[in-house]
Structure 1
Amino acid sequence: MKGIPVTFIAYDGEEAVRKFRESSPRPQVMIMDYRMPIMDGVEAARTILSLEPDTKIIFVSADTGAREEAMKAGAAAFLEKPAGLKEIIDQVEKVMSQKSTIVK
């Protein structure tokens, strides 16, 4: 719709980390839920950010109690479900336009 490519879809946190590692180039932005089987979204986000600190992770979750934990783990944004496609795309564009604050 906006020309934003989808690199991969994962069905659990472990698969998300594996596919992230295998991606070339790696995605600049990831959309992730908190509640996922095998590895939750916060643990997956921490692992992904340890591999590529400039990756922007947007959580979309109905578990609003996870907002603080997700943000502490390094999330760029947290959207509450149900989030509409326009809201998600707007947030992707917003985090893509932000400069990294990570010093390498």
Structure 2
Amino acid sequence: MNSVLIVEDELSLQELYELILSINGFKIVGKASNGYEAVEVYKSLSIKPDVVIMDHRMPIKTGLEATKEIMQIDPQARIIIATADEEIEKMARSMGIISFKSKPFSNDRLINNIRKAINNPPVQANI
């Protein structure tokens, strides 16, 4: 069973991700509601998740800022940035991160992007 860390500041979306992922056979190993918590939760996990779903617009630290820190800790981390902002999507892709269009929301797109992240080796990029 593949494992996922969910990072989302909107509780309703966090719960939606958890429901969709659980139904599709993924194990939720942690949740965070801002970028700072994301880094702390990631560091605290003895077994790292197969993938991190990371919202971009969050309080305290953005998704891209948290992603940079996580990738410095673990260059093999597989991270998906959830954003509707095309500029953020371009920045994420330049960092070797899979981006996910969060609006309009699509269960299939979410699951396909997670499987893509898990099945492909992490892209090494200059962060």
Q: Give the TM interval when normalised to the shorter protein.
A: 0.7 to 0.9
Q: Is the 8 A contact 1:13 1:41 kept in 2?
A: yes
CA distance in 2, matches of 1:36, 1:73: 19
Aligned with residue 63 of structure 2, among 41, 44, 61: 41
Q: Is the 8 A contact 2:96 2:123 kept in 1?
A: no
State whether structure 2 residue 97 is matched by structure 1 residue 81: no
For structure 1, list consecutive stretches of 5 or more residues without a partner in the other structure.
none
Q: TM-score, normalised by structure 2?
A: 0.73
Aligned with residue 60 of structure 1, among 82, 88, 94: 82
2:5 corresponds to which residue?
none
1:2 corresponds to which residue?
24
CA distance in 2, matches of 1:97, 1:80: 20
Q: Is the 8 A contact 2:96 2:122 kept in 1?
A: no
Q: Which runs of 4+ in 1 moved over 3 A?
A: none
For the aligned residue pairs, the C-alpha RMSD in angstroms reads 1.4
For 1:56, the aligned partner's letter is: R
1:16 corresponds to which residue?
38
Q: Is the 8 A contact 2:36 2:61 kept in 1?
A: yes
Q: Which is further off, 65-74 or 84-93?
A: 65-74
Aligned length: 101
Aligned with residue 26 of structure 1, among 22, 34, 48: 48
More strand by share: 2
CA distance in 1, matches of 2:75, 2:33: 22
Q: TM-score, normalised by structure 1?
A: 0.87
